[in-house]
């Protein structure tokens, strides 16, 4: 009876967590309607720390009921069995398993982290899956016609504010769909719309996500909704390209806020639209980053058990703060803070931890890679190349424990592996070089708009993703843009050279944007391309204006899709054609 009571206590802790999490998420719709962008940022940040607070609450309640200094194996074995029974028909069972793991793992030693006591493997694989129909609503144009059905869909999505000109938007939407998906059967009586019931909110945008089912197959789509400058809402773009959809759900973006009663059903619906996305990636994208972490670790263990390649030093210029390695067959890198930093890094381990957490809590605007943080990761020694093992002993001995045929890394970060920008440029042709150097500048500008100063802007600290997006991934020098002091280089004359006065004396937070090319872009070709594409980034005035915008609460929308997809862009092209 004691085991069942404890199982119920842990599940009650999860229920409280989930209800409060959804309550936070529900506020996003009203904040979007009222254009309260600072509240949306606050809500997004609060959800990230929310989970750990609820786990701590549950542990404190548990400690008043049961001594937790030593594991009572028979009791905890039974607690897990009772907990599994409570989850038999639970709509958030997979999240509740992860919550249980978090409670147990904070109480006891990792030697007990096995399937007898925690959910290393989910027990839900053979359980009936929650129907994806729980998360979407179907619409049938055969009943009322195509345009009325689309209007019905949009009206059912409660944005709490009307559209500026919905009839016009629907016409643009239909034209865009016919142009983008010409192979879809377009007769209205021969199709069905499946639409996720809740809109997805992030930053200044809202998204309607669904699919068209017809005799020619299934066509996924995303509809982007924004605020019109003259009041009301408008449809900004239609996305049907799977690559663009994956970027919107990418690992360099802030988590969506979307209400859901059955997260596994929502995840599987999205997975049907984007089959290349893993469950871990999709759980992360919809805000359940702890579940994403659980799913990722299961994927990692499965991959490790099914392969025989060895961990090796990651390609690229070795970092001065992080030891970085990878498993060639697994598309991620593993980063561990070094015991000692280079003299050029005047800070310590705590600063690095804080800066990685800053990025985790921040809007990453599609330009900063998400990190997954783990403790006590066990890796078999025979899966580590000797050169890497030697480097691990040399650089991270304080973060590593040797246990015979295993090593245990006490704390590490895992990120999606990308091609370092400096390596990409070594093999790029002129067209590719032009493209990524322009995108490098855009990446810096977009980070500035989010109040992020990347610090070390060397090309080696940026990667090129498989979608050819330039993404920043080295956070040890990240700071808020508004904390920096941007200065123009002083003009010096001949008398200054002989005076002995150091005109370039600088405080720790001083930055001279003109030096960006001097120290970062030493290659003349790259420098020329950058100067041509982004000359304003070499002036203190541009950075200072970005600071003023942030201080004045000017929140700029960073589009997670190409400008060419926007309906306003298509209108501009049509107008230019008519004029010619």
Residue indicated by tokens 């979407």: 136
pLDDT of residue 577: 47
**Whole-number Å distance between alpha carbons of 441 and 457:** 10
Q: Is residue 320 a known part of a binding site? A: yes
- CA dihedral 449→455→457→461, nearest 10 degrees, is -110
User: What is the DSSP-derived secondary structure letter of residue 121?
Assistant: S
Q: Contact 350/391 with Cβ under 8 angstroms?
A: no
Strands (E), 91-248: 136-139, 191-196, 200-202, 205-214, 217-227, 233-239
Query: Is 319 assigned a ligand-binding role in the annotation?
Result: yes
Buried b (16+ CB within 10 A) or exposed e, 60-93: eebeeebebeeeeeeebebbbebbbeebeebbbb
Rounded CA-CA distance 334/314 in Å is 9
Q: What is the CA radius of gyration of the chain?
A: 26
Contact criterion met (CB below 8 Å) for 191 and 213: yes
**What is the spatial distance between Cα 116 and Cα 76, in angstroms, rounded to a whole number?**
9
User: What's the token pair of residue 356?
Assistant: 């990685």
Backbone angles phi and psi of 411, in degrees to 5:
-155, 125
Task: Work out whether the CA dihedral 344, 347, 349, 353 comes out positive or negative.
Answer: negative
**Is 293 part of any known ligand binding site?**
no
pTM: 0.92
Find the helix or strand (DSSP H, E) in which 140 lies. Answer: none
Alpha-carbon dihedral sign for residues 186, 189, 194, 200: positive
Residues carrying an active site annotation: 370
314 is in an annotated binding site: yes
32, 555 contact by CB (below 8 A): no
Give the pLDDT confidence score for residue 576 in this predicted structure. 46
Span 494-530, pLDDT tens digits: 555 555 555 556 678 899 998 887 888 889 999 999 9
Other Cβ atoms within 10 Å of 349 Cβ, number: 16
Instruction: Quote the CA–CA distance of 194 and 322 in Å, as a whole number.
Output: 46
In Å, what is the CA distance from 536 to each residue of 531, 532, 540?
Answer: 8, 10, 8
- So what's the pLDDT on residue 580? 47
Distance CA 110, CA 107 (A): 10
Angle at 322 (CA atoms; ends 316, 327), nearest 5 degrees = 60
Q: What backbone torsions phi and psi does residue 161 show, to the nearest 5 degrees?
A: -160, 145
Could you list the beta-strand ranges (E) of 253-363.
312-313, 322-326, 332-337
Q: Which of 240, 243, 268 is nearest to 178 (CA)?
A: 240
Note whether 202 and 256 are within 8 A (CB): yes
Residue carrying structure tokens 């979608």:
467
408 strand-pairing partners: 378, 401
Phi (first) and psi of residue 5, to 5 degrees = -65, -40
Alpha helices in 131-234 (DSSP H): 141-144, 146-156, 166-180
Q: What share of the chain is helix, strand, coil (3-state, %, to 5)?
A: 50, 15, 35
With 0-12 / 13-18 / 19 or more C-beta atoms within 10 angstroms meaning exposed / middle / buried, residue 434 is middle
Both tokens of 353, joined, read 């931890």
CA–CA separation, 154 and 259 (whole Å): 17
Rounded Cα distance, 120 and 98, in Å: 9
The answer to the question of whether 318 is labelled as a binding residue is: yes
Is residue 281 within 8 Å of 249, Cβ to Cβ?
yes
Q: How far is CA 127 from the centre of its chain?
A: 30
The per-residue DSSP string of 336-385 comes to EE-SS--TT----HHHHHHHHHHHHHS--TTTB---EEEEEEEEEGGGB-
Half-sphere exposure at residue 372, Cβ-oriented, CA atoms within 13 angstroms: 24
Q: Which two tokens stand for residue 234?
A: 């408008």
315 in a labelled binding site: yes
Name the pairing type of β-strands 233-239 and 217-227. Answer: antiparallel
- Using one digit for the tens of pLDDT, what is the confidence trace for 393-422? 999 999 999 999 999 999 999 999 999 999
User: What are the average pLDDT values for consecutive 10-residue runs of the chain, which has 580 residues?
Assistant: 91 97 96 95 91 94 81 92 94 96 91 90 82 91 92 93 95 90 76 95 96 91 96 96 91 93 95 94 95 95 94 93 96 96 88 93 91 94 96 96 94 96 96 97 95 93 95 95 91 56 68 86 92 95 95 90 86 52
Q: What is the pLDDT of residue 162?
A: 94
Please name the residue that has the structure tokens 């590593």.
400
Here the tokens at position 38 are 């600072």
Looking at residue 179, what is its pLDDT?
87
Residue 135 has which token pair?
């998360």
């Amino acid at each position: 009876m004691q085991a069942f009571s404890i199982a119920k206590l842990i599940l009650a802790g999860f229920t409280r967590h989930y209800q409060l999490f959804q309550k936070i998420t529900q506020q996003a719709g009203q904040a979007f309607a009222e254009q309260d962008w600072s509240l949306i940022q606050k809500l997004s940040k609060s959800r990230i720390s929310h989970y750990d607070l609820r786990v701590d609450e549950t542990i404190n309640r548990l400690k008043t009921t049961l001594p937790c200094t030593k594991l009572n194996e028979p009791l905890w074995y039974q607690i897990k069995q009772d907990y599994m029974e409570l989850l038999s028909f639970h709509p958030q069972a997979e999240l509740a398993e992860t919550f249980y793991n978090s409670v147990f793992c904070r109480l006891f030693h990792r030697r007990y982290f096995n399937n007898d006591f925690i959910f290393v493997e989910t027990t839900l694989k053979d359980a009936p899956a929650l129907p994806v129909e729980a998360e979407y609503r179907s619409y049938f144009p055969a009943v009322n016609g195509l345009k009325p059905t689309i209007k019905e869909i949009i009206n059912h999505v409660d944005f709490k504010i009307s559209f500026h000109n919905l009839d016009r938007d629907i016409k643009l939407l239909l034209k865009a769909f016919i142009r983008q998906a010409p192979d879809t059967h377009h007769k209205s009586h021969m199709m069905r719309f499946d639409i996720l019931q809740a809109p997805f909110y992030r930053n200044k945008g809202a998204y309607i996500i669904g699919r068209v089912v017809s005799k020619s197959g299934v066509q996924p789509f995303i509809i982007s909704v924004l605020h019109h400058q003259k009041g009301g809402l408008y449809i900004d773009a239609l996305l049907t390209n799977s690559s663009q959809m994956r970027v919107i759900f990418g690992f360099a973006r802030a988590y969506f806020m979307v209400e859901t009663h059955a997260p596994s059903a929502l995840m599987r619906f999205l997975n049907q639209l984007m089959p290349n996305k893993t469950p871990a990636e999709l759980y992360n994208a919809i805000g359940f980053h702890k579940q994403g972490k659980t799913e990722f670790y299961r994927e990692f263990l499965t991959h490790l058990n099914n392969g025989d390649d060895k961990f090796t030093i990651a390609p690229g210029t070795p970092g001065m703060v992080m030891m970085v390695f990878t498993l060639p067959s697994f598309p991620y890198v593993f980063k561990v803070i070094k015991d000692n930093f280079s003299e050029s890094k005047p800070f310590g381990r705590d600063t690095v931890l804080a800066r990685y957490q800053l990025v985790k809590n921040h809007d990453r605007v599609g330009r900063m890679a998400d990190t997954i943080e783990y403790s006590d990761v066990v890796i078999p020694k025979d899966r580590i190349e000797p050169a890497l093992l030697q480097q691990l002993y040399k650089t991270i001995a304080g973060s590593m424990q040797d246990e015979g045929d295993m090593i245990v890394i006490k704390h590490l970060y895992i990120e999606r592996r990308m091609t370092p920008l400096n390596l990409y440029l070594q093999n790029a042709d002129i067209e590719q070089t032009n493209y990524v150097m322009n995108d490098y500048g855009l990446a810096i500008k977009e980070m500035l708009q989010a109040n992020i100063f990347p610090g070390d802007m060397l090309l080696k600290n940026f990667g090129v993703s498989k979608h050819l997006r330039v993404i920043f991934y080295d956070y040890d020098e990240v700071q808020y843009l508004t904390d920096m002091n941007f200065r123009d280089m002083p003009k010096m004359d001949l008398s200054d050279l002989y005076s002995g006065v150091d005109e370039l004396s600088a405080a720790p937070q001083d930055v001279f944007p003109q030096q960006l090319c001097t120290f970062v872009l030493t290659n003349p070709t790259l420098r020329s391309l950058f100067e041509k594409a982004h000359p304003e980034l070499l002036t203190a005035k541009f950075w200072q204006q970005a600071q003023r915008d942030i201080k004045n609460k000017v929140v700029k929308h960073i589009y997670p899709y190409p400008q060419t997809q926007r309906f306003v862009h298509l209108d501009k092209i049509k107008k230019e054609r008519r004029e010619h």
